[in-house]
Amino acid sequence: MTMPTPKCPWRMQVHHIRQETPDVWTLSLLCHDYYPYRAGQYALVSIRNSAGQLRAYTLSSTPGVSEYLTLTIRRLDGGAGSGWLTQEVKRGDYLWLSDAQGDFTCDNQRNDKLLLLAAGCGVTPVMSMRRWLAKYRPQADVQVIFSVRSPEDVIFADEWQQYPVTLVAEHNATEGFLAGRLTPEILRRVPDLASRTVMTCGPAPYMEQVEKEVRALGVTQFFKEKFFTPVAEAATSGLRFTKLEPAKTFFAPVGTTLLEAFESNKIAVNAACRAGVCGSCKTQVVSGEYQINSTMTLTAQEIADGYVLACSCHPQSDLVLA
């Protein structure tokens, strides 16, 4: 079986699938070679084993602890990747993964006091790190606050019984849950909050609110991983983009990335990590001014030829694209 793309050289076989919540499943994978990764990292998955679609998913398992490599995925309405992985992939099927990627991990944190904050599927890297800390840093003082829509939406519900955790349910809170959303009052109950390393993952509005609140309470060591980027409506004015092949003209507001301009105008583009790491969104700019904040996967010749990573490209003028 030939790999679909050089970006995803690791072949994994689905050993079993577990439903975590009404819309979340965990796929447990077997890799017949040693697959190096760190707690909290993610991998690109080749959707339908094709080179045309790559999606990034957290490795919810923990190196040195978990029996299998796992992906824990929420099914999204209309999601090409999540729909296939949660509804069509079955035991015995093969998936192709990239090398592990990302810096949202705890093994480089020296502070023995941590606060891990998660909402929804943002708990996947948090559980990976929580297991790692229990195994390799048992002396660490680890506090976890996990926010969900309702009690039935707690991912890894059985496993959380092994670790201290504060559960917050926005709706239908039952015994063992705080009702509502994460608030400054809940955060103030965390002992020695200002001296902790705070790590958080969740939807964009949650992430923004968490950062604002913990910084206001004196936290200086703060790390986050945003795992969802909303797509804006297409613009009818602003910066003008002219794509030569296939020929098309479209617009985007000043301040958007090239990737956001593509997606808001439904221009086909591969986008996985959205952090300038994986190289999926490589695009050639023929003319125009722009700023970039990552060239991680580009060669010197590609940079000289005008290639950019669309997720890390910030247009400063009208652009012409190959």
- Evaluate if residue 229 carries a pLDDT over 60: no
Same domain membership, residue 249 and residue 213 = no
Q: How would residue 226 be classed by pLDDT, with cut points 50, 70 and 90?
A: low
Averaged pLDDT for residues 12-18:
97
Cα separation, 282 vs 302, in Å, equals: 10
Number of domains present in the structure of the chain? 3
315 in a structural domain: yes
Same domain membership, residue 145 and residue 220 = yes
Cα separation, 100 vs 77, in Å, equals: 27
Looking at residue 87, which CATH number applies to its domain?
A: 2.40.30.10
How many CB atoms within 10 Å of residue 210? 24
Helices then strands, each counted (H, E), the chain: 6, 19
Cα separation, 288 vs 49, in Å, equals: 36
Same domain membership, residue 244 and residue 215 = no
Q: What is the pLDDT of residue 52?
A: 67
Answer whether 248's CB lies under 8 Å from 320's CB.
no
103 in a structural domain: no
126 in a structural domain: yes
Q: What is the pLDDT of residue 228?
A: 46
Same domain membership, residue 170 and residue 93 = no
Q: How would residue 60 be classed by pLDDT, with cut points 50, 70 and 90?
A: very high
- C-alpha closest to that of 86 among 78, 76, 75, 97: 75
Looking at residue 251, which CATH number applies to its domain?
A: 3.10.20.30
Same domain membership, residue 193 and residue 168 = yes
222 in a structural domain: yes
Q: Name beta bridge partners: 318.
A: none
Range among 144-158, 227-241, 249-263, 268-282 rated most confident: 144-158
The owner of tokens 């964009």 is 204
Same domain membership, residue 76 and residue 21 = yes
- Evaluate if residue 233 carries a pLDDT over 80: no
Which of 47, 64, 97 is the last residue in one of the domains?
A: 97
Which of 97, 132, 155 is the last residue in one of the domains?
A: 97
Q: What is the pLDDT of residue 296?
A: 81
Strands (E), the chain: 10-21, 24-31, 42-46, 54-58, 69-74, 94-97, 113-119, 141-148, 166-169, 177-179, 197-202, 221-226, 239-243, 248-252, 282-287, 290-292, 307-309, 313-315, 319-321
Same domain membership, residue 120 and residue 51 = no
Answer whether 202's CB lies under 8 Å from 118's CB.
yes
Q: Whole domain around residue 275: which residue ranges?
A: 239-321
Answer whether 73's CB lies under 8 Å from 87's CB.
no
Strand order in the sheet with 42-46: 54-58, 42-46, 94-97, 10-21, 24-31, 69-74
| Alpha-carbon distances, residue 113 vs 218, 221, 284 (angstroms) | 15, 11, 45
Same domain membership, residue 71 and residue 14 = yes
244 in a structural domain: yes
Q: What is the pLDDT of residue 269?
A: 84
Averaged pLDDT for residues 4-9:
86
Answer whether 195's CB lies under 8 Å from 166's CB.
no
Same domain membership, residue 125 and residue 219 = yes
Cα separation, 202 vs 81, in Å, equals: 19
102 in a structural domain: no
Same domain membership, residue 197 and residue 297 = no
- Evaluate if residue 230 carries a pLDDT over 60: no
Q: What is the pLDDT of residue 1?
A: 65
Which of 47, 63, 97 is the last residue in one of the domains?
A: 97
Averaged pLDDT for residues 215-226:
91
How many CB atoms within 10 Å of residue 109? 17
Q: What is the pLDDT of residue 2?
A: 75
Burial of residue 72 (number of CB atoms within 10 Å: 0-12, 13-18, 19+):
buried
Same domain membership, residue 253 and residue 207 = no
Rounded to 5 degrees, what are φ and ψ at 156? Answer: 65, 40
262 in a structural domain: yes
Say what the pTM is.
0.78
- Measured on CA atoms in the order 204, 207, 212, 213, is the torsion positive or negative? positive
Q: What is the pLDDT of residue 231?
A: 61
Strands (E), 227-312: 239-243, 248-252, 282-287, 290-292, 307-309
DSSP strand pairing (113-119 vs 197-202): parallel
130 in a structural domain: yes
Averaged pLDDT for residues 228-242:
79
Rounded to 5 degrees, what are φ and ψ at 48? Answer: 55, 25
- Evaluate if residue 182 carries a pLDDT over 90: yes
Looking at residue 206, which CATH number applies to its domain?
A: 3.40.50.80
Same domain membership, residue 243 and residue 222 = no
